[in-house]
Amino acid sequence: MSNAVTINVYEIVGSELCVAASDGQKVYDQIQTALQMKKMVLLTFRNVTGLTSAFLNAAIGQLYSTFDEVTIRAGLRVRDMNPEDRALLKRVVDTAKEYFKDPDRFKKANREILGDEHGKKGSSD
């Protein structure tokens, strides 16, 4: 059994435009399964011409909830991305790392940004 697998984003989404988080979830499911099987994932974006942060958050950002950075760095490679999409993915990845390091950090930062007057608790229905 080969230890490397190529996952084709275009084939999973069925479109050159990757917009919806639900499509990102399909990509995530494939990567997650492969990484759990200790496979090296080559994720190709060939023929993909448009991406959203919502798609990338679901497809790749979410991996940081399941795997540590070392595992992801060792097991996942992206290919065929244009420079702008790589820059967007980098922002998504950096945000995800920070988010999963301390999810409550966002909440604390929010309270700091807004100050005490708006940081008070509201109804939690």
Partner 1 sequence: MKVALPRIEHDRSGFCHLTDFYAALRACDSELIEVDMSSCGWFDADMCSPLGAILYKLSRKLNEVRLTNIRPDVKKILCRNGFLLNYGEERLPDSYGTTIRYKRFDSKDDKDFTNYVERRLLGRAEIPRMSQGLARKFRESVFEIFSNAVIHSQTQYGIFCCGQYFPKRHRIVLCISDLGIGIKTNIRKTLDLDLPDDKAIEWATTDRNTTKRGTIPGGLGLKLLKEFIAMNKGSIQIVSEKGYWGFLEGHVRQAVFNHRFPGTVVTIDINTADTSSYKLSSEISEEDIF
76-79 vs 40-44, strand pairing mode: parallel
Q: Minimum CB separation from partner 1 for residue 1, in Å?
A: 24
Least Cα distance to 60 among 23, 91, 24, 7 occurs for 24
Which x/- pattern, by CB under 8 A, does the window 91-110 give for partner 1?
A: xxx-xx-xxx--x--xx-xx
Figure out which of the listed residues 36, 38, 47, 114 binds partner 1, where binding follows CB under 8 A. Answer: 114
The site string for partner 1 over 10-49 (x = CB under 8 A, - otherwise) reads -----x-x-xxxxx-x------------------------
Output phi, psi for 85, to 5 deg: -70, -35
79 counts as binding partner 1 under rule CB under 8 A = yes
